[in-house]
Amino acid sequence: MSQQSEDVRYRGSGQPGVKTRIYSVAVPVVLGLCGIALLVGSLALGVGTTNEPGPGLWPFAIACTWTLAAAAIAWESFKGTALPPVGPSQRPAVGFGLTLAFILIFSYIGLIPAVLIVTSAWMKLLSDMSWKRIIIASLTITALLYILFAIIIGTAFPASVLPIP
């Protein structure tokens, strides 16, 4: 898998810098803290005994496993295995923003504007497609989804300001 090859790449690029090492340890440590928070939460629910198990017993067991495994990763990182960097995040951030926008437009305005706006913005911002191709593609996607969900399946869409979904 590509992930492995990335791991190898970073391991292979000599001794990681201080920044990378701090980051590589910080990620599993934060993860471990989440595990500890879960541990506290499950204790609050009540662990009970093996004969009378409480609602928190199972989450407690999970939290222990979680925390220990996170600690193991932190130790690995501390010894020098660097985590792959977060890397270029501008384009994923745009993608995230458009996904968020889709949910909002879908919830408050309607299916058709949401699909039209988000797919065309996506193609414009994240690829080199020409406007002509973008319009054809986003109209196709919109029509497809409209036929599938609104006509065939008859989904009840959220309150729309438009007469059609």
146 to 165, contacts with another protein by CB under 8 A?
A: 147-160, 165
Contact between residue 66 and residue 35 where contact means Cβ atoms under 8 Å apart: yes
How far, in Å, CA of 72 to CA of 12, rounded? 21
Figure out which of the listed residues 22, 30, 40, 99 binds another protein, where binding follows CB under 8 A.
99
At 127, phi and psi to the nearest 5? -150, 175
Figure out which of the listed residues 13, 72, 78, 131 binds another protein, where binding follows CB under 8 A.
72
Quote the DSSP letter at residue 107.
H
Figure out which of the listed residues 33, 40, 41, 80 binds another protein, where binding follows CB under 8 A.
41
Figure out which of the listed residues 29, 43, 47, 76 binds another protein, where binding follows CB under 8 A.
76
Q: Return the number of the residue (22 or 126) whose C-beta is nearest another protein.
A: 126
Q: Return the number of the residue (17 or 144) whose C-beta is nearest another protein.
A: 144
Figure out which of the listed residues 11, 13, 96, 131 binds another protein, where binding follows CB under 8 A.
96
Binding residues for another protein, how many (CB under 8 A)?
79
Contact between residue 70 and residue 31 where contact means Cβ atoms under 8 Å apart: yes
Figure out which of the listed residues 69, 109, 135, 139 binds another protein, where binding follows CB under 8 A.
69
Contact between residue 157 and residue 110 where contact means Cβ atoms under 8 Å apart: yes
Q: How many CB atoms lie within 10 A of CB 82?
A: 20
Q: Is 89 in the site for another protein (CB under 8 A)?
A: yes
How far, in Å, CA of 140 to CA of 137, rounded? 5
Q: Is 83 in the site for another protein (CB under 8 A)?
A: yes
- Tell me the per-residue interface mask from 107 to 136 with another protein, x by CB under 8 A, - otherwise: x---x--xx--xx--xx--xxxx-------
What are the tokens at 144? 């497809």
What are the tokens at 163? 């007469």
